[in-house]
Amino acid sequence: MNALISHPAIKKVLATETDISAAVQHIADSLDKKFSDSSRRPIFISVLKGAAIFTTDLLRKMSLDVDLDFIDVKSYNKSQSTGNIRVTHDVSTDLTDRQVVIVDEIVDSGRTMKWLVDYFKLKGASQITTVVLTDKKEARQVPVRIDYAGLEVPNEFIVGYGMDYNSRFRNLPVIAILDTNKLDDIK
């Protein structure tokens, strides 16, 4: 068992490695089907850093050949969203007339995903598909369409499988709720 799972700040495990693998496989199968007749490879854009693990596992489960790029955007300061989104690393691929698949590990308020959809439209994407491993519907503040979501999670601070608290718990192999009353135990 991974020692991080028993950390005092981990309140509850929401999804095991088996649960996550099944959700990722389901999304991969759906995307394979969606893009099976495409004449041009879709481009998957992974939102760094959190979606890196999910994106890697997702692409390894797909049978289609796809292009891959990355974008890094920041909107959080510690455990709070600032509401301001800034690009710290942009995609390097020309998105003109491309089928873009945005891959993120979580959508909560919806601000970042909505911003990314609008941003990639401005960059010329012909079609945008949104994919998230976890969907925190209760936290939605901005209406945004999520095409494929693996798991619905409660409106709590979620860590693991790429999701973090100040860069901690990202490599936790499960998805868990962080006990925000025990943040002092995080060193």
* Residues 96/124, Cβ–Cβ less than 8 Å: yes
* Catalytic residue chosen out of the listed positions 72, 97, 104, 108: 108
* Residues 85/75, Cβ–Cβ less than 8 Å: yes
> 175 Cβ partners below 8 Å, 6+ apart?
13, 14, 15, 19, 20, 133, 134, 151, 153, 158, 159, 160, 161, 163
Question: Is residue 108 among the annotated active site residues?
Answer: yes
What's the angle, vertex CA 133, arms to CA 125 and CA 171, rounded to 5?
115
SS3 143: coil
Beta bridge partners of 89: 72
**Three-state DSSP string of 113-139:** HHHHHHHHHHCCCCEEEEEEEEECHHH
* Phi, then psi, of 142 in degrees rounded to 5: -125, 130
Catalytic residues: 108
